[in-house]
């Protein structure tokens, strides 16, 4: 979002939870907003793909999980 010039500045974390963090941001046009960041990239449990598969909120993460599994498969074969 910063690269796309949607967000100008990310400030402090406003709230944290089990699955998300909420941050105060300032947009390019100077408006104050809040963004919610899902913690899918730091989930450590073994079958997290089963947890996020089919979940609309995590649709962009599925590709990363598949790529990660493929890389791990390749490492095991060597």
Residue 24: predicted pLDDT = 92
Is this structure's pTM higher than 0.85? Answer: no
pLDDT digits (tens, 9 = 90+) for 20-57: 889 999 988 899 999 888 876 555 556 666 666 666 66
Q: How confident is the model at residue 18 (pLDDT cuts 50, 70, 90)?
A: confident
The residue ranges of every structural domain in the chain are 1-38, 40-78
The mean predicted confidence, pLDDT, of the chain is 72
Question: Rounded to a whole number, what is the distance in angstroms from the first to the last CA of the chain?
Answer: 38
Residue 58: predicted pLDDT = 62
Query: Is it the case that residue 70 has pLDDT exceeding 60?
Result: no
Whole-Å CA distances, 34 to 11, 29, 52, 58: 10, 14, 24, 19
């Amino acid at each position: 979002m910063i690269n796309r010039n949607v967000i100008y500045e990310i400030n402090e974390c406003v709230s944290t939870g089990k699955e998300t963090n909420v941050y105060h941001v300032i947009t390019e046009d100077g408006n104050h907003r809040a963004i919610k960041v899902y913690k899918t990239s730091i989930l450590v449990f073994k079958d997290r793909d089963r947890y996020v598969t089919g979940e609309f909120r995590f649709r962009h993460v599925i590709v990363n999980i598949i790529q990660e599994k493929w890389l791990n498969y390749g490492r095991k074969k060597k």
